[in-house]
Amino acid sequence: MGLNNGRGQVINASRCVGHGACFHACPVEAITLCIGTEQRGVELPHISQEFETNIPGIFIAGELGGMGLIRNAVEEGKQAVDYFIKKYNRSSKAQYDLIIVGAGPAGISASLNAVKNKLKCLTIEQESLGGTVSSFPRAKIVMTSPMELPLWGKIKLVETSKTELLNLWTSVLQKNKIKIKEHEKVEEITKQENNFIVKTNKGHYSSTGVVLAIGRRGSPRKLGVPGEERENVYYRLLEPELIHDKDILVVGGGDSAIESAVLLTDENNRVTLSYRSEKFSRIKPKNHERINNYIKKKKIRVLFNSNVKEIFSDHIILTFSNRSEVVKLKNDLTYIFAGGILPTRFLEEVGIKVTKKFGDAVLKHS
């Protein structure tokens, strides 16, 4: 953000990661975080600058709090454990000092830092190692930055593959004899005296503290249009290298949509990208450059201000918010990247406060 004629203005929205700690960054409350759009807000849990929620002893690190970048998530996981160590004494009555929920970048970093500081910890992941990264397309290039991993040191990465990144994390965990409880879902977290009881679909565990590094996965956000239940509609792209010579519609304007559209185009598919806004505003600079290059070379057709009206087995109907035109497109496959629905109910049942914010990130003029 910057100042324009004495008032706050968004300069480059794609640089904003929408982190919940921004609520507390200014002592006079001059900063207000309002990401999302006027129609569809973004839900963010309340966390302090120390990554602690309104429930003392429960911390949030990584994408769940708004921090989606791998490097930053890794740093947050480390810092959340540091703050836990400073503020809480280990309880001899609990099975564990710390339970870490999620084994993505933040969860892995938190686990490594906990072991480094000789905490008795348990890490639980509802899917497989890597969290959200494990669901990336096999051929996806993961863009990150050099980062510091506890018990490993400096990792100098800029662009790497999903497989290489997962192999790295596997090596780090194996070297330090850290086992992740995979395919185990946390269903409930309750406070009992000075400890937390974490109930999963496989058992009960007790701990002094909890780090939630579960990301913003939950269920994918759906469009709510007729035909969305068809078998040719998907919400993630796993193996683009197996898809060829298809007419494909990709819905969305974020990094996942852009990257998937490019991957599918590179496999000799005819790709149309539908985005409800008038321009891309919240994507990484490299993705912005890439999609503009594909548009210029007419490799990808982009329809701004467009919305899916109905999906059929062999075609799709689009409408536009800025004109009365209706477009019928030949279509074999539809990939929808409208974001994920935050596991709000789970957080609220734990007692964590969640606020829904609308509009763009703004600087409140005082």
* pLDDT digits 0-9 by tens, 237-289: 878 888 999 999 999 999 889 999 999 999 999 999 999 999 998 788 889 99
Q: How confident is the model at residue 140 (pLDDT cuts 50, 70, 90)?
A: low
Q: Is the CB of residue 190 less than 8 Å from the CB of residue 58?
A: no
Q: Does 67 have pLDDT greater than 60?
A: no
Q: Is domain 220-338 given the CATH code 3.90.550.10 in the classification?
A: no
Contact (Cβ atoms closer than 8 angstroms) between residue 282 and residue 14: yes
Kindly state the helix (H) or strand (E) to which residue 123 belongs, with its residue range: strand 121-124
Q: Quick one: pLDDT at residue 36? A: 46
Q: Letter for the amino acid at 79? A: Q
Q: What is the Cα–Cα distance from 41 to 220, expressed in whole angstroms?
A: 15
Which pLDDT does position 24 carry in this prediction? 53
pLDDT value of position 326:
95
Q: Is 320 helix (H, G, I), strand (E, B) or coil?
A: strand
What pLDDT, on a 0 to 100 scale, did the predictor assign at position 217?
60
Q: Measured between alpha carbons, how far is 277 from 279 in angstroms, rounded to an integer?
A: 6
The pLDDT-based confidence of 8 (bands split at 50, 70, 90) is: confident
Nearest C-alpha neighbor of 252 from the set 262, 242, 266, 238:
262
pLDDT grade for 221, boundaries at 50, 70 and 90: confident
Strand-pair partners of 334: 233, 249
What whole-number distance in Å separates Cα of residue 100 and Cα of residue 106?
10
Banded model confidence at residue 165, pLDDT cuts 50, 70, 90 = confident
Round to whole Å and give the CA distance between 167 and 162. 9
When pLDDT is cut at 50, 70 and 90, the band that residue 356 belongs to is low
Q: Give the pLDDT confidence score for residue 361 in this predicted structure.
A: 42
Q: What is the mean pLDDT of the chain?
A: 84
What pLDDT does residue 132 have?
65
Determine the 3-state secondary structure of 80 from DSSP.
helix
Confidence of residue 122 (pLDDT cuts 50, 70, 90): very high
Q: What average pLDDT does range 201-206 have in this prediction? A: 95
Q: Which 8-state DSSP code applies to residue 151?
A: T
Q: Could you report the per-residue pLDDT of 188-200, keeping only the tens digit for each?
A: 999 998 899 999 9
CB 245 within 8 A of CB 264: no
pLDDT band, very low/low/confident/very high, at 169 (cuts 50, 70, 90): confident
CATH of domain 48-218: 3.50.50.60
**What is the per-residue pLDDT for 6?**
79
Spatial CA neighbour of 315 closest among 334, 333, 331: 331
Q: What is the pLDDT of residue 288?
A: 93
Contact by Cβ (8 Å): 197, 204:
yes
Find the helix packing angle between 255-265 and 285-296, rounded to 10°.
Answer: 40
The gap from C-alpha 160 to its chain's centroid, in whole angstroms, comes to 18
Flag the least confident range among 9-23, 223-237, 322-336.
Answer: 9-23
- What is the rounded distance in angstroms from the CA atom of residue 128 to the CA atom of residue 253? 27
Q: Number of H helices and number of E strands within the chain?
A: 6, 27
Q: How many angstroms separate the CA atoms of 136 and 116, rounded?
A: 29
For residues 137-157, average pLDDT = 72
- Give me the pLDDT at residue 366, please: 32
Rounded Cα gap, residues 144 and 300, in angstroms: 25
What average pLDDT does the segment 128-149 reach? 67
Residue 219 has what pLDDT? Answer: 65
Share of the chain above pLDDT 70, in %: 80
Lowest mean pLDDT among 32-46, 209-223, 277-291: 32-46
Q: Indicate whether 85 pLDDT > 80.
A: yes
Residue ranges, comma separated, of all CATH 3.50.50.60 domains in the chain are 48-218, 220-338
